[in-house]
Structure 1
Amino acid sequence: MNPYISTIFTLLLIHRAYSRSSLTPPAILAATLTALIHASHPTALPFTLLITFYVLGTTATKIKKAEKEKLTVSSGGGHGEHDGRGVKQVLANSGAASILCLVDLAVRKGTSGKGWLGGETAYVGDLLAVGVVANYAATTADTLASELGILSKRKPRLILNPWKICPPGTNGAVSAVGLGAGALGAAFIGVVSSYWFNPTTAATATTATTAATPAVSVMEFILFTTLIGFSGSLLDSIIGAIFQHSVIDIRTNRIVENPHGGKVLIIPGETSSHPHPLHMKQEVEVEKIGWDGAVGNHSKVGGSRKVVQGGLGWLDNNGVNASMAVGMILAGMVAWWALVGEY
């Protein structure tokens, strides 16, 4: 990719993240390294998708932010996710794509450099390129589904038990608004990516000298990307429902979120291996607030949090996102190979 263009956009990314506090300082460094890796590729596809994902994600986060903050509680106190995203969140969404870029650069050594895999075709069968597209289609869909789905007027339902209505922000819960937003986000990634998978632009978009007859049309490619991204959003919810806890603050009946995607401790002040003994014994006076806004009677309980969605608790949100991204990369590459065949 043109180094001047990538440098300008990387600096703009850093400025936007710093000025709007959308990333923590360490996360800005991680994002800068990620941008450099993406920009090091001869084509502009990885870097373009990285910037597109970041802009869409941060924009969705800002939409009705004040309203969303009232729907959940931050594990550090106050409302929901109000801090900038952390390093693990950056790596969970873009780490696998960075690895694909580095692998492709290594594969190119000693080859003609034609196509992503060094072949003669400009785009057909370029599985690493499809893997990068699948990564950002899935992570974009998941991000928009989470950020916009929580605003749904209808309460979400558990994906593995559609009859169970859940509080907004519950891991593994989905809504029609969230699924629709995710599908649109994935489709947008497909539209952006289609430039590199378009037979009329493929020869100039890559370093290949010849372009083969396309196995799929541009519209079919966009549909393919949309389905991959939508499936990624569903997979993220399934993984979250099975492997992740959802913790509720019983004083407000709101889901507790870790602003950096880590695990939410059931007892505030404990560590993952050492429960806080005082909190275990301490009684806390709370007032129950129903979802209809009615305030119930005061009562005393042994703690302020409890698990309301009993997954295994093996993964935090970052682990769920990373697992989903890797899974959809592999699924997208296999699906593409089955769709277009061998060339």
Structure 2
Amino acid sequence: MFHECDSCDDTCSPVLQLTSMDSEGDILMKEYTKMMTDMIVLCVTLALSLFFWVISLTISTYYGTLQPVSPWRWLFSILVPFVVTVRALKKKSLDRSGALGALLVGFVLTMANFSFFSSLLAFFFTSSRLTRWGGAQKKKIDAEYKEGGQRNWVQVFCNGGVPTELALLYMIEVGPGEIPIDFGKQYSASWMCLSLLGALACSTGDTWASEVGPVLSKSQPRLITTWKEVPAGTNGGVTPVGLAASFVGGLVVGVAYFVTQLLLVSNLHFADPQWPIILYGGVAGLLGSMLDSYLGAHMQYSGFDVSVGKVVGYESATTRRICGKPILDNNGVNLFSSILIALILPGLAWWMWPR
């Protein structure tokens, strides 16, 4: 009835042997299914990229001004955003609606310009990691704290909608591909590139400030409009640590854009200097965060609810108003901030850009 196992000194029953075999069979089946799923995804992606390539070739024969897009660019623009989105979905950085929105944003930005793609990745990965960091501290002060910071489609488009629209305009202007920032040779396209970079740096700076400030800051936040001390979590509250973090976050996005330019643009020596892109990202992150705080102080309601002991965004009998009016929510403030930075900051950059 019993026999010795080869892998141990204990006696094992046939039932345990069968259970072990079933378990190994399930593991093999899961690995096989995963492998087949990956193969199917790759084949579908290849088919889609070739299909779009044929379409671009057909269109280019009728419209001579349009250049066909390489099938490898189609493949990269479909496959890489898909892989990143699936990974984010598994890590609960996105919910299902957010994943669909991220797929669209990622595809458009990657197709338009790989520098856009690298800047988007810098924003997404750093923001997702910082959102999970210091969760215990953030939970104490944020009444709406969500574990993992899972983003939905509204949050994705409020942060990525402006860059997506700019990327589409960029492709209409010069087509998919990488170009140097050069106002003398590519005025409107350079403006669009800096607008897009500014919008992403603005979102990154605001996220870094709101995620790093509450964890590392030792001082009480001050309302940006009056400079009076306010409770942590108040819309419009800023700290020196948070402002510094917003500048560093923008720098990270600028570095990602600049490095991609160095790697992929061959004629940089004929264009204006590109290093100001890094500083531009930092300034956009800082100004974007300050603008977000200013709008939040005026257009987002903040009150202290004594029943929960936290700052909340709703009015109730137990809530004491701190600042703001219930006009916009956090997503609306983020959207307006990125729009204003995208519209205003490139003009200042054009005036100050070294030539």
**Shorter-chain-normalised TM-score: which range?**
0.7 to 0.9
In the aligned structure 2, how far is the partner of 1:61 from the partner of 1:17? Answer: 13
Deviation at 1:87, TM superposition (A): 1.7
Q: Is the contact between residue 224 and residue 293 of structure 2 (CA under 8 Å) also seen in structure 1?
A: yes
- Tell me how far 1:58 sits from its aligned partner: 0.4
- 8 Å contact 1:134–1:228 — kept in the other structure? yes
What SS does the aligned partner of 1:314 have? Answer: coil
Residue 193 (structure 2) aligns with: 129
Q: Summarize the Cα distance change of 1:114–1:253 in structure 2 as closer, same or farther, 3 Å threshold.
A: closer
Note the alpha carbon deviations across 1:145-190, whole angstroms, 9 max, x for none. Answer: 001111222211111111x111111100001111111111111111
1:266 aligns with 2:315: yes
Change (3 A) 1:46 1:86: same
Change (3 A) 1:216 1:118: closer
- Greater percentage in helix: 2
Contact preservation (8 Å) 2:198, 2:341: yes
* SS of corresponding position for 2:321: strand
In the alignment, is the contact (CA less than 8 A) between 1:107 and 1:117 conserved in 2?
A: no
Q: Partner of 1:167 in structure 2?
A: 231
Deviation of 1:17 after TM superposition, in Å, equals 2.2
Q: Show the 5 A alignment for 1:18-167.
A: 18-41=89-112, 43-74=113-144, 80-82=145-147, 84-108=150-174, 115=179, 121=185, 126-151=190-215, 152-162=217-227, 164-167=228-231
Once the two structures are superposed, residues 48-92 of structure 1 have per-residue CA deviations (whole angstroms, 9 ceiling, x without a partner) of 111211101100101111221122212xxxxx2335222221111
Identify the match of residue 327 of structure 2 among 301, 304, 314: 314
2:18 is aligned to none
Q: Normalised by the size of structure 2, how large is the TM-score?
A: 0.72
Equivalent residue, structure 2, for 1:230? 286
Shift of 1:215: 3.5
Aligned counterparts of 1:39 and 1:29: Cα–Cα separation in 2: 15
Q: Separation in 2 of the partners of 1:140 and 1:247?
A: 26
How far apart, CA to CA, are the structure 2 residues paired with 1:330 and 1:197? 23
Structure 2 residue identity aligned to 1:305:
T
1:107 deviation in Å? 2.0
Q: Which residue of 1 aligns with 2:19?
A: none
Compute the displacement of 1:235 (Å).
0.8
The offset of 1:252, in angstroms, is: 3.3
**CA 1:81–1:64 in structure 2 vs 1: closer, same or farther (change >3 Å)?**
same
Give the Cα separation in 2 of the matches to 1:119 and 1:227: 19
Change (3 A) 1:211 1:122: farther
Q: CA offset at residue 15 of structure 1?
A: 2.3
CA distance in 2 between counterparts of 1:339 and 1:21 reads 42
Letter in 1 for 2:345: G
- State the TM-score, normalizing by the size of structure 1: 0.74
What does 1:171-182 correspond to in 2, within 5 Å?
171-182=235-246
| Kept in 2: contact 1:154–1:175 (CA 8 A) | yes
Deviation at 1:29, TM superposition (A): 0.9
Q: Distance in 2 between matches of 1:336 and 1:217?
A: 12
* Structure that is richer in strand per residue: 1
Aligned residue runs from structure 1 range 233-248, under 5 A: 233-248=289-304
For the 8 Å contact 1:27–1:87, the answer to whether it is kept is yes
Q: Kindly state the Cα deviation for residue 305 of structure 1 after the two structures are TM-superposed.
A: 3.0
Query: How far apart are residue 8 of structure 1 and its match?
Result: 3.9
Give SS of 1:153's match. coil
* 2:143 partner SS: strand
Identify unmatched segments of 5+ residues in structure 2. Answer: 1-71
Q: Given that residues 248 and 254 in structure 1 are in contact (C-alpha distance below 8 angstroms), is that contact kept between their aligned partners in structure 2?
A: yes
8 Å CA contact retained: 2:119, 2:254: no
Tell me, in whole angstroms, the C-alpha distance in 2 between the residues paired with 1:101 and 1:119.
18
After superposition, the Cα gap between the structure-2 partners of 1:202 and 1:95, relative to the gap in structure 1 and judged at 3 Å, is same
1:323 equivalent in alignment to 2:336:
yes
Which amino acid counterpart does residue 325 of structure 1 have in structure 2? S
